[in-house]
Amino acid sequence: MNRLAGLHEDSASVTVRRSDSMFSESGQEMTSKPAAEEDDNPLEKFYSQVSEIQGIVRDVQTLTQTLKQKHGEKMQIIDASKATAAADEISELTDKINELAKKGNEKLTAISKGTAELKKTPEDEQNNAGIIKIQQNQHAHLLKMYTNAIHAYHRK
């Protein structure tokens, strides 16, 4: 994904040299956005959703590690009041992970629906074939990352 994001960022602005007398006598550099970006590039919104989902997955992984650590600490606590406090922390972490999991699931569903929107008619599907393929591949990759993170959480 990082290569795709880097490639996408690099293509955000294109430098064009014009030596036509109509533009400038000295071959002035002009910076313009690609035509696809001027029409509200559908990948812009998609890439922001991808970033959000990746952040959610990282947060779930981090919280899962913290949760494992807290469980280990709780097992070593003898004092009842400290054990109760540790149980409360574990409960809070579990709630946070569950909220993130729900949010991640909603975002993945939104990406899937967005891709389906691009395939409403055969003409749309043909015109957006490249975008559809990118979105399907990214969705599959994100779904795998998300599933692995949730699976690790359930194994805790």
Are the C-beta atoms of 57 and 145 separated by less than 8 Å? yes
- The CA–CA distances, whole Å, from 56 to 24, 61, 141 equal 49, 9, 14
Q: Check: CATH 1.20.58.70 for 43-154? A: yes
Q: Which two tokens stand for residue 140?
A: 């599959």
**What would the two tokens of residue 30 be?**
């002009």
Amino acid at 9: E
pLDDT recorded at residue 13: 42
Question: Which pTM was predicted?
Answer: 0.69
Q: In Å, how far from its chain's centre is CA 140?
A: 12
User: Which residues are registered as beta bridge partners of 15?
Assistant: 31
CA 21 centroid distance within chain: 45
Question: What tokens were used for 94?
Answer: 């579990």
Gap between the Cα atoms of 135 and 50, Å rounded: 9
Check residue 156 and give its pLDDT. 72
pLDDT one digit per residue (tens) for the chain, 156 residues: 455 555 445 444 444 444 444 344 444 444 444 444 444 677 898 999 999 999 999 999 999 999 999 999 999 988 888 889 999 999 999 999 999 999 999 999 999 999 999 999 999 999 999 999 999 999 999 999 999 999 999 987
Q: Helix or strand or coil: residue 7?
A: helix
Closest residue by Cα to residue 11 from 46, 43, 51 = 43
Question: What element of type H or E holds 30?
Answer: strand 29-32
Domain ranges for the chain? 43-154
Question: Looking at the DSSP assignment, which residues form a beta bridge with residue 14?
Answer: 32
